[in-house]
Amino acid sequence: MNRAEQRARYRERIAEVRAGTAAEKVPYPIRIRQAEVQRTSRVGAGLVRVTLGGPGTAGFEAHSPDEHVKLIFPEPDGTLRLPEPNGDMLRWPRPLPTSREYTVRRYDPVTGELDLDVALHDGGLGADWARAARPGDLVHVAGPPGGLIVPHNYDRYLLAGDLTALPAIARWLEELPRTAAGWAFVEVADESEQIELHPPEDVEVHWLHRGDAEPGTSDLLEKAVRAVPIPEGERIYVWLAGEAGVLKPLRRWVRDELRLDRGDHDITGYWKRGVADFDEDHEHHEH
């Protein structure tokens, strides 16, 4: 099967899941690309948008609001160890190269531009790279390994997370049908980290201001989410992401109180306090 036929086949699969009744992960062929920084800009006080392009981003696949790519960085001694194409997968060298994972904020198939919004509060490798990135810099991008395709026919959607989840929430709100209803909760330090969002009219957006508390230490998000009045008998989809410890009580709430089926929610720890390269889902490496 050539690439065009293959692309048509999994796009069909994505459309099927989108029109179905339960969310499903649909894998796409996983590529490694060399991309070139086109420009950077600030998105609120908390995020730096790095726009990538060049020949390497042509034919990128973007179908799911929280799909992610890995940026691969040189090792401390300057060597760059890249995964190798292996059919529709990548073969990763051992030990694994230094990488950081980011949500695909936007991909424009016409210009080939790929936007990654990098949270600055982690103060780590990725944030330093994003701050220093200049047009013409080259970076290697692996993925996405596919994405979670969520049907567009739930009665309501509940989306919640912190600054690291904001790019995915922003994309969710743009990509939901305009008839969708529900809630989005975003925990930020203060108003300066808020950004312009484009939600459907019936999705209420709530910004939660953490103030001086360190990221990942507040129960603001948990309290706000648990207080949502979920109408009896409605089908609800819950998407939560952010600091792993903050999400723990919400995982229990979804499981024990909402009693949602596995296909009706997605909860992902994007980072963990005190852990530089947290990856909740190691199988991303193994594709």
**Which pLDDT belongs to residue 283?**
35
Torsional sign, CA 269, 70, 273, 227: negative
**Which pLDDT belongs to residue 281?**
59
**Which pLDDT belongs to residue 213?**
92
Do 275 and 248 share a structural domain?
yes
CATH number for position 196 = 3.40.50.80
**Which pLDDT belongs to residue 198?**
97
Do 130 and 224 share a structural domain?
no
**Which pLDDT belongs to residue 148?**
93
Do 76 and 13 share a structural domain?
yes
3-state secondary structure 212-262: CCCCCCCCHHHHHHHCCCCCCCCCEEEEEEEEHHHHHHHHHHHHHHHCCCH
What's the total number of domains in the chain?
2
Binning pLDDT at 50, 70 and 90, where does residue 286 land? Answer: very low
Binning pLDDT at 50, 70 and 90, where does residue 189 land? Answer: very high
Mean of per-residue pLDDT scores for the chain = 92
Cβ proximity of 257 and 158 under 8 Å: no
Of 125, 147, 169, the one marking the end of a domain is 147
**Which pLDDT belongs to residue 277?**
72
Count other C-beta atoms under 10 Å from residue 216's C-beta.
20
**Phi and psi at residue 149, to the nearest 5°:** -95, 120
Do 179 and 75 share a structural domain?
no
Read off the pLDDT of each residue in 168-179 and give the average, rounded to a whole number: 97
User: In DSSP terms, which residues pair with 181 in a beta bridge?
Assistant: 202
Do 109 and 185 share a structural domain?
no
Closest CA to 169 of 156, 154, 183: 183
Contacts of 194 (CB under 8 A, 6+ apart): 44, 186, 188, 207
CATH number for position 79 = 2.40.30.10
Do 278 and 170 share a structural domain?
yes
Of 147, 182, 214, the one marking the end of a domain is 147
**Which pLDDT belongs to residue 6?**
81
